[in-house]
């Protein structure tokens, strides 16, 4: 973990590979010997297992989390002329998917405590064109779903959960991604359940949505060469499915370890002026451990930590409404804009040792208490 010259990376995927090596090799060998590389029995088995884990009727393996969002939106009937309410403080793919289906993202500001969309601000953004709400469970922290679902019910809107960063997270005891009409997951390698390449998943309890999504991932066809709609080539690989089947039984333990790492950080960082630590809320799976550095010192702290060999990241330096592709003026979503200036994500992975974690905190203390 502490690699070249005592560096502490923000993320280290190698311990998990070592831990599972024999099982991974067996799974990969099984796929190579099967001669079936796209969809097929391995993907079907993963879809069954992951649906059972999440407690949802349908799980549809696709190429990426981005495709899961695009296919999810289309399967929910979202298209040109529609507006979709979402958060500006997320990875670009959230809004990109809305734009890709021809709809317009309508950005609503965040709750500064959780970094997630603030449900209280959603009603003012609803227009006759609004068709859906797309909350994001950012950093693994469940968005406040009850008021979002109530608003959706009241206004006849669909809810698609961007759960890319929150595999295994729960909201009032239920897995996120299964609370709305559909949920999108990413298996990008760094995610809490990561493949060793690209992969994604759409989940839903709605049989009709599942049927359309299955068609869309395979060129809009139920039956080969009998295409019924214009879809995508967006299927999950058998190799990635086999790898995910090895990793799925471990994800709860890894998520629990992430929560332990977060609470250790919180204890050690408590009381340092100018640092705001995240709440260890129920069901949070800490895809990222993200603090706020106040007083305009975030970039300085990041630079100093980098010089000490400690990897951190700013997720995200530009809220989506300010990106040139959307081009809204600065000042309209102050909470997201503030978060973009103050958020700093620390090294976070399941087996980050207490010793290395203490080193990270020590460096921050030296900087801010000097």
Strands 289-293, 275-276: pairing is antiparallel
Site string for ligand PLP, 134-153 (x = CB under 6 A): --x-----------------
**Contact residue for ligand PLP among 86, 114, 130, 165 (CB under 6 A):** 165
| Nearest residue (CB) to ligand PLP, 348 versus 356 | 348
Would you say 195 and 169 are in contact if contact means Cβ atoms under 8 Å apart? Answer: no
Q: Which of residues 255-284 bind ligand PLP (CB under 6 A)?
A: none
Least distance CB 329 / ligand PLP (angstroms) = 24
Using CB positions, name the residue nearest to ligand PLP. Answer: 65
**Contact residue for ligand PLP among 188, 265, 289, 349 (CB under 6 A):** 188
Least distance CB 298 / ligand PLP (angstroms) = 20
Would you say 176 and 166 are in contact if contact means Cβ atoms under 8 Å apart? Answer: yes
| Nearest residue (CB) to ligand PLP, 158 versus 359 | 158
Q: Which of residues 65-124 bind ligand PLP (CB under 6 A)?
A: 65-66, 90-91, 93-94
**DSSP annotation string for 288-342:** SEEEEE-TT-HHHHHHHHHHTTB--B-S-SS-GGGSTTT-PPTTSSHHHHHHHHH
Least distance CB 53 / ligand PLP (angstroms) = 19
How many angstroms separate the CA atoms of 27 and 45, rounded? 13
Least distance CB 93 / ligand PLP (angstroms) = 4
Least distance CB 97 / ligand PLP (angstroms) = 8
How many angstroms separate the CA atoms of 242 and 194, rounded? 12
CA Rg value for the chain: 21
Question: Cis link prior to 316 (omega < 30° from 0)?
Answer: yes
Element (DSSP H or E) covering residue 132:
strand 130-134
| Nearest residue (CB) to ligand PLP, 10 versus 368 | 10
**Contact residue for ligand PLP among 144, 161, 162, 237 (CB under 6 A):** 162
Q: Which of residues 189-208 bind ligand PLP (CB under 6 A)?
A: 198, 200
Element (DSSP H or E) covering residue 184:
strand 182-186
CA distance between the termini of the chain: 29
| Nearest residue (CB) to ligand PLP, 277 versus 320 | 320
Phi-psi sector, 155: left (phi>0), alpha (psi -120 to 50), beta: alpha
- Chain residues in the site for ligand PLP (CB under 6 A): 64-66, 90-91, 93-94, 136, 162, 164-165, 186, 188, 198, 200
């Amino acid at each position: 973990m502490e690699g070249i010259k005592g560096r502490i990376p923000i993320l280290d995927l190698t311990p998990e590979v070592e831990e599972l090596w024999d099982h991974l090799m067996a799974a990969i060998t099984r796929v190579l010997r099967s001669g079936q590389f796209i969809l097929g029995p391995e993907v079907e088995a993963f879809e069954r297992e992951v649906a059972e884990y999440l407690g949802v009727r349908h799980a549809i393996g696709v190429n990426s989390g981005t495709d899961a969002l695009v296919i999810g939106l289309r399967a929910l009937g979202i298209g040109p002329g529609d507006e979709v309410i979402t958060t500006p403080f997320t990875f670009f793919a959230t809004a990109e998917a809305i734009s890709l289906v021809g709809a317009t993202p309508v950005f609503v500001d965040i709750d500064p405590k959780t970094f997630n969309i603030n449900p209280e601000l959603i009603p003012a953004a609803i227009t006759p064109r609004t068709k859906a709400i797309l909350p994001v469970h950012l950093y693994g922290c469940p968005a406040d779903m009850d008021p979002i679902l109530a608003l959706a019910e009241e206004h006849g809107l669909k809810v698609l959960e961007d759960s890319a960063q929150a595999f295994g997270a729960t909201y009032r005891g239920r897995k996120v991604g299964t609370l709305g009409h559909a949920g999108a997951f990413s298996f990008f390698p760094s995610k809490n359940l990561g493949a060793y390449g690209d992969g994604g998943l759409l989940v839903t309890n709605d049989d009709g949505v599942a049927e359309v999504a299955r068609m869309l991932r395979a060129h809009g066809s139920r039956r080969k060469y009998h295409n019924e709609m214009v879809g995508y080539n967006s299927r999950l690989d058998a190799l990635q499915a086999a790898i995910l089947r090895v990793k799925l039984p471990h994800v709860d333990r890894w998520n629990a370890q992430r929560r332990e790492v977060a609470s250790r950080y919180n204890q050690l960082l408590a009381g340092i002026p100018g640092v705001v630590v995240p709440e260890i809320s129920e069901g949070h799976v800490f895809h990222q451990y993200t603090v706020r550095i106040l007083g305009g010192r975030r970039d300085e702290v990041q630079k100093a930590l980098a010089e000490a060999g400690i990897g951190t990241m700013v997720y995200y330096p530009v809220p989506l409404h300010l990106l040139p592709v959307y081009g809204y003026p600065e000042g309209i979503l102050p909470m997201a804009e503030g978060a973009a200036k103050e958020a700093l994500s620390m090294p976070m992975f399941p087996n980050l040792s207490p010793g290395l974690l203490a080193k990270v905190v020590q460096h921050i203390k030296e900087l801010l208490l000097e």
